[in-house]
Structure 1
């Protein structure tokens, strides 16, 4: 019985060894790994660059009173859309109406004085012809007439000034737009020297979007298009990303490029215009301008073909059938899914595009081919 048990134990051990050896041999056939490899060739890509931007109305007009006085009426509300010439505020008109009446009275008095001076001069002329009065008397009468004419002109000028001042008591909108904040209410004492305006009227039919480029980026644009004027003519339409990261539905165009580089920041200011038919954009807002830049004859690699070490980007080139790491300088495109190689690779180089994180320097690279057999479940079962 003991011998039989020993024989069974030996048979079990033999079978276990066979099973274990079979398990070890199975992965041996899978040790040789293949990798996808791509050959670099020049191609064209569009770079989408983001720039912080500020949004302004086509016109942001600060409204200040031209005369002083007490506000008697506020004719608009904040955010109201107004037309050119529409009344915004009314300043106490009583003192200005009185000033106008005084100016009118002065005009009438000056007219009467002029008429008297004219009669005196005409009379002196007749008497002078008859040698009744001297030439001095005639000249004196003439001078009095000229003074009366000047007094009338002065009185009329005062009338015009008084009428203007009275009209200025009705503060009107100088353009179509939207009313801003209203810091002053009825009863407030206002004047032309206010620390802040009565309100701001913004023309929001089209919106100006301001952003900046570095000097090097500006030079790149000029080299690409030949001149600044040609860049403005040929540059494609741009997109706007709003402050909540949503995309503005309408495209804009760059209208102007400043000819002066800011010494403090080393940047140049650009102005784009966007339509604002739905009133979605507001003066004083912020966002990001998305500027497309055409890149020709660029070397483009997928992001998965790279790995990073201490913020530096590397790829594995295939050299003599082995992996060789190479440091590259890249620009992100297509949302970061692709890189444009700025330095470190050249056309014709071959790089590994999968499994990069598992590779090591000198790893043998066997390239995948479309002719490699694919093992199906049915084939496995038959074997």
Structure 2
């Protein structure tokens, strides 16, 4: 008899616990529905609870806001100088002057090397003497022309000789100028591998001059942002060798052809380097932000989950209703979602969600009321 009595008492206790769980625990309904069982819910969320009956649940709410979805693209780019020119010799000869220092700065037009030019200097003097002689002959012929003692052929020969002398002087001066090499741009010189007394040939590289006042970065972006990217757009770049340095630049050029293999577009950005911290050849991590579509923004605490997916409790006319949603982006202080049951300005429950049911009456807690009163006073 004692064993039977214990079995009956255990069964009664179990039945009572199941009844209470099925009717007063909100999470029980989805589980019973999966098993094909239904629970009888009272029409009023607070009716039929006997001695468990209580007033409306106190909750804290937060408004639904709108926020733009951030579209961020990151890429690795290679940096190069604004200008990097290999200065070459214009002629064959010995270097007689080299006013350069490795890593030094030169101005545009500054002499950087001079070749032996004695023969060219003599040629210029000879051309000037011939020109002076031709000019004197032309003056004599011009005086005789007024008397009619000069034939047309003689006059033509004199003019031709004068013209040839002028051209010969220009050629000699040009040849002399080729013995002098000047900096084509302002910038820094690299390592110099030549010295005074070395013999160079035409087109031999004497020195490389780099204008790194600005650094150009070549990188690639996916083809989906072709309609969004444009010259002048701002980007951020971090040198991979200087992780604590973040710089801001702008897009200077956008290619017109998409690479068929990678489906990417080549883009060129420009960084200011007046502080001279960057060098050509450095690698950069480049980030671009594009404005995206506008979505609903909710507080992370309001987000709930069920067997049907994510949802929130939205407050309308003193009662809460379940609003299903789809998550698009998670941030540290907000969650961007899509939902047909929500709109900007709706109040959703962030605290007190544990005992809520569809259509349950709720009241704002003193904490929520104080916050709303403070907002009202400021407005």
The within-5 A match list for 1:216-227 is: 216-221=224-229
Contact 1:56 1:207 in 2 (8 A): yes
> Which position in structure 2 is the counterpart of 1:7?
none
> Which position in structure 1 is the counterpart of 2:156?
143
CA separation of 1:117/1:267 partners in 2, compared to 1, >3 Å: closer, same or farther? same
> Which position in structure 1 is the counterpart of 2:267?
270
For the aligned residue pairs, the C-alpha RMSD in angstroms reads 4.9
TM-score (norm 1): 0.58
Confirm or deny that 1:106 pairs with 2:111.
no
CA separation of 1:198/1:120 partners in 2, compared to 1, >3 Å: closer, same or farther? closer
Contact 2:299 2:335 in 1 (8 A): yes
1:87-122 Cα offsets, whole Å, 9 max, x none, are 33x2432xx232221232133134325534654675
> Which position in structure 2 is the counterpart of 1:261?
257
The within-5 A match list for 1:87-106 is: 87-88=111-112, 90-93=113-116, 96-106=117-127
Contact 2:237 2:287 in 1 (8 A): yes
Aligned equivalents of 1:48, 1:186: Cα separation in 2: 55
TM-aligned CA deviation for residue 260 of structure 1: 0.8
Unpaired runs of 5+ residues, structure 1, are 1-24, 130-136, 222-227, 307-314, 321-325, 354-364, 372-383
Which secondary structure does the structure 2 equivalent of 1:79 belong to? coil
The within-5 A match list for 1:12-161 is: 42-88=66-112, 90-93=113-116, 96-116=117-137, 118-119=139-140, 122=143, 126=147, 138-161=151-174
Which secondary structure does the structure 2 equivalent of 1:251 belong to? strand
TM-aligned CA deviation for residue 319 of structure 1: 11
TM-aligned CA deviation for residue 39 of structure 1: 11
Residue number among 202, 205, 208 corresponding to 2:216 in the alignment: 208
Q: Which one has the bigger helix percentage?
A: 1
Which secondary structure does the structure 1 equivalent of 2:281 belong to? coil
1:5-34 Cα offsets, whole Å, 9 max, x none, are xxxxxxxxxxxxxxxxxxxx9xxx9xx898
Aligned equivalents of 2:63, 2:105: Cα separation in 1: 60
TM-score (norm 2): 0.58
1:48-89 Cα offsets, whole Å, 9 max, x none, are 42121222222223322222323345433333222223333x
